[in-house]
């Protein structure tokens, strides 16, 4: 029953053009997030990456998420959460760790440890 209600909610939201959820559950909306808020960046901390505050989508509106420290993963490149504009729509890219730094999430990368990638 809960699944049917959730599915109905997604269908209703997508019919208004506000949000669409592709099969890979990427969040895509029709309008830009609000401007970023200013946050003082704390002094560097050994073994951690600073993830700046950002706007996330809660299914109805943008919600501010304050910056946090994220523990580093040796051998990986960190990408912080961000919004990307694609053909007039906005796609949310969550944080991710990438082994070879090519920008392709390892789960979709056919050669995730390729050191000779350009």
Using the structure block, give the residue that is written with the tokens 């906005």.
90
Question: Is residue 114 situated within a structural domain?
Answer: no
pTM of the model: 0.62
Q: pLDDT 10s per residue in the chain (118 long)?
A: 555 555 555 554 544 444 444 434 678 999 999 999 999 999 999 999 999 999 999 999 999 999 999 999 888 888 899 999 999 999 998 888 887 666 666 666 776 666 565 5
Domains of the chain: total: 1
Q: Is 55 exposed, middle or buried (0-12, 13-18, 19+ CB in 10 A)?
A: buried
* CA dist list (Å): 36 to 14, 30, 55: 26, 18, 7
Domain residues for the domain of 82 are: 2-98
Question: Is residue 76 situated within a structural domain?
Answer: yes
Question: Is residue 18 situated within a structural domain?
Answer: yes
Cα-based torsion angle of the residue sequence 51, 80, 94, 99 in order, rounded to the nearest 10 degrees: -120
Question: Is residue 70 situated within a structural domain?
Answer: yes
Question: Is residue 110 situated within a structural domain?
Answer: no
Token reading at 69: 């420290």
């Amino acid at each position: 029953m809960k699944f049917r209600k959730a599915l109905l909610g997604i269908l209703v939201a997508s019919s208004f053009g506000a949000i669409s959820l592709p099969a890979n559950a990427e969040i895509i909306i029709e309008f830009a997030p609000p401007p970023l808020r200013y946050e003082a960046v704390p002094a560097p901390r050994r073994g951690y990456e600073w993830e700046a505050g950002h706007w996330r989508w809660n299914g109805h509106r943008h919600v501010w998420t304050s910056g946090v420290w994220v523990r580093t993963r040796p051998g990986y490149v960190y990408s912080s959460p961000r919004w990307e504009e694609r053909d007039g729509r906005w796609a949310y890219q969550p944080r991710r760790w990438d082994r070879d730094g090519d920008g392709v999430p390892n789960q979709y990368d056919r050669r995730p440890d390729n050191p000779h990638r350009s």
